[in-house]
């Protein structure tokens, strides 16, 4: 790959570097790959008017770095995705194996997950957002309390 890069014209080199960068390859990665100085790469990106720009993985539009919600989605797409999935009921088959060890769950007969409220003990349909927060508290916390109780909003919790 380095040999191919060396045979390219300056225009092709600049275009290749710019394309890699906007598709979320770091300056450090490009530097190591092509054995180039990071300052030179930054100068090329500035001259190509793409420094601090990336392509959104959802809409494929080139956007300035600070308009990203996270590494993959710009604010526009991330907001649409979050709204679409955060309030929807959860697919039983998708999360059964991940959460059944920690929560009492069941299938409602239509493939929707129901969980037993940790406070009032009634079954309810948690949202994707609630399940993601619960799983995050289980798998991501390295120390301390690993409990983000699933509850139906019964207001019994303290």
User: What does the pLDDT look like over 24-34, one tens digit per residue?
Assistant: 888 899 999 99
Return d(Cα 129, Cα 113) in angstroms, integer: 13
Q: Percent of the chain having pLDDT more than 90?
A: 22
Write the pLDDT tens digit of every residue in 64-77: 776 665 556 676 76
Of 72, 78, 76, the closest CA to residue 54 belongs to 72
Return d(Cα 67, Cα 61) in angstroms, integer: 11
pLDDT tops 50 at residue 45: yes
Write the pLDDT tens digit of every residue in 76-123: 766 555 555 566 778 888 788 888 888 889 999 888 889 888 788 888
Predicted pLDDT at 157 = 46
Does 123 or 58 have the greater pLDDT score? 123
- Assign 12 to helix, strand or coil: helix
Measured CA distances, 98 to 63, 91, 106, 117, 158 (Å): 35, 12, 13, 17, 26
Give the dihedral sign, CA 88/107/125/152.
negative
**Distance, first Cα to last Cα, the chain:** 59
Length of the chain: 158
Of 117, 127, 123, the closest CA to residue 89 belongs to 127
Predicted pLDDT at 143 = 55
pLDDT tops 90 at residue 63: no
Predicted pLDDT at 51 = 83
- For residue 107, list its beta bridge partners: 113
- For residue 113, list its beta bridge partners: 107
């Amino acid at each position: 790959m380095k040999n191919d890069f060396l045979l390219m014209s300056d225009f092709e080199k600049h275009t290749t570097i710019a394309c890699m960068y906007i598709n979320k390859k770091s300056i450090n990665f490009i530097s190591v790959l092509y054995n180039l100085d990071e300052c030179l790469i930054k100068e090329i990106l500035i001259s190509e008017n793409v420094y601090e720009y990336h392509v959104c993985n959802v809409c494929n539009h080139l956007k300035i770095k600070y308009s990203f919600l996270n590494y993959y989605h710009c604010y526009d797409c991330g907001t649409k995705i979050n709204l679409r999935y955060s309030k929807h009921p959860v697919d039983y088959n998708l999360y059964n194996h991940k959460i059944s060890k920690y929560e009492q769950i069941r299938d409602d007969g239509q493939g929707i997950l129901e969980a037993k409220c940790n406070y009032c003990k009634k079954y309810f349909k948690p949202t994707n957002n609630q399940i993601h927060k619960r799983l995050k508290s289980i798998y991501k916390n390295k120390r301390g309390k690993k409990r983000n109780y699933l509850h139906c909003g019964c207001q019994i919790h303290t």
